Structure 1
Amino acid sequence: MSKVSALMGATAQGFAEVKELGLQGMVTLKADLSTPEAAKAVQAATGLALPTQRRIVEGESGAVAWMARDELLILCAHDQADACVATLNSQLTGAHHLAVNVSDARAFFAVEGACAREVLAKLAPVDLRPGVFEPGEMRRTRLAQVPAAFWMTGPDSFRLICFRSVARYVFDILAVSAKEGGAVGIY
């Protein structure tokens, strides 16, 4: 496993703050999520329930995000990702599934501040207006021209993941989008 994050904690300040959050444990689970076995396995691995469509369930030890009708992204401590995979595999023995530690293939960012919505609204084809996109919602989308996923952790706070191979590009477009004078007024 990697010992260094994609951008080693890079930060940018504008009308919102953009920062790379360092190493984050991430596990992809592909399975039939409608089964009781899947719910039990996720509960055993994370202590959390399955999220509903386009939602993320967060707890003290991590989160479980809906990515597709048969796919979840589990967030945990970086050093716990392999244990999470082992628990899922043990719980789902005999069931068709795939549990993979994808921690080192991803980068993890925060976009925070009163205009955090605007930073992302300039880059993603998602309606981010208050009342439409709220904390606990998850979107898997494109950020400019690359795949990304993001969710709100509070009224002025987003978390975002992307492939590690495009981390510098994503950080740079977020930083440019957050530059002073760049607010677009999505409200």
Structure 2
Amino acid sequence: MAELLAKSPCDRLLPLSIGDARLSEVDMTVLTSLAPYNGKEEGLSDALKAAHGMELPAVNRATGKEGARAIWFGRGHTLLVGPAPDASLAEHAALTDQSDAWSIVRLEGDDAEDVLARLVPVDLRQAQFKRGHTSRTQLQHMTISITRVSDTAFLIIAFRSMAKTLVHDLETAMKGVAARRAG
């Protein structure tokens, strides 16, 4: 009988450290899509706060902290990252396990903004895109979610099937920024 092994989306691709940027894979975690039923947004926010210590995020925002985050994921959708959803959330929203569908990487370091400026058509400079801000956008040709999690770090979520391309594109940009800095 074949023995199947669970592998992370970026298995053997990460971590990378180039110049003043580091790219690492976020450990495989529970990802749950929360889609509130009509008129149940406030109840979902209250249930999320009671069960997981964070409110439902506003548009283009994320709530929570490392290990337990709620990320705005598009109109009428929030992605709960980290904890398994409490059963009380099901009274207010459709819950869908997305754990195997996405890859999550963390880009951090003093060069992170410059690396992303080469790839993402959104102004991610800290003056415009502060901690807790999130956007559904493109990284090259891939649809992603990007969230600023600290002054110099971003959480990037892309389709699992695009993990190798995601790492390749980020690595290429990291090398370009490092080469430019080296002069």
Normalising by structure 1, report the TM-score: 0.83
TM-superposed CA distance for 1:87, in Å, is 3.8
Any idea what SS the aligned residue of 2:144 has? strand
Moved more, 170-179 or 29-38: 29-38
Q: 3-state DSSP class of the match of 2:104?
A: strand
Using a 3 Å threshold, how does the CA distance of structure 1 residues 88 and 178 change in structure 2: closer, same or farther? same
Name the CA distance, whole Å, in 1 between partners of 2:116 and 2:148.
11
Moved over 4 A (4+): none
Deviation at 1:43, TM superposition (A): 2.3
On the 8 A contact 1:62/1:75 being kept in 2, the answer is: yes
How many angstroms apart in 2 are the aligned matches of 1:67 and 1:85? 19
* Residue 37 (1) aligns with residue 43 (2): yes
Give the letter for the 2:172 counterpart: V
CA contact (8 A) 2:22 2:109 kept: yes
SS in 1 for 2:33: strand
Deviates more, 1:138-147 or 1:41-50: 41-50
Q: TM-score w.r.t. structure 2 length?
A: 0.85
1:54-93 aligned within 5 A: 54-59=60-65, 61-77=67-83, 81=84, 84=85, 86-89=87-90, 91-92=91-92
Residue 164 of structure 1 deviates from its aligned partner by 0.4
2:9 paired residue among 6, 9, 31: 6
The corresponding residue for 1:121 is 117
Question: 1:1-54 deviations in whole A, cap 9, x for unaligned?
Answer: x83211226122212111122302111111147632221232244221121121
Q: Structure 1 stretches of 5 or more lacking a match?
A: none
CA 1:148–1:60 in 2, change beyond 3 Å: closer, same or farther? closer
Does 1:19 pair with 2:24?
yes
- Preserved contact between residue 33 and residue 70 of structure 1 (Cα < 8 Å): no
* Structure 1 residues 161-172: aligned runs within 5 Å: 161-172=157-168
CA distance in 2, matches of 1:3, 1:162: 19
Secondary structure of 1:149's counterpart equals: strand
SS in 2 for 1:63: strand
* 1:103 counterpart SS class: coil
2:109 corresponds to which letter in structure 1? G
Instruction: Judge conservation of contact 1:52–1:66 (CA < 8 Å) in 2.
Output: yes
State the one-letter code of the partner of 2:55.
Answer: A
1:72-117 deviation per Cα after TM superposition (whole angstroms, max 9, x unaligned): 011114xxx3xx164422x33xxxx421110111101010110101
Cα deviation code 1:130-168 (max 9, x no counterpart): 311111100111110011111111111111111100001
Number of positions where the alignment pairs a residue of Structure 1 with one of Structure 2 = 172
Answer yes or no: is the 8 Å Cα contact 1:137–1:151 preserved in 2: yes
Q: Which amino acid aligns with 1:23?
A: M
Note if contact 1:50-1:64 (Cα within 8 Å) is conserved in structure 2: yes
Q: SS at 1:124's partner residue?
A: coil
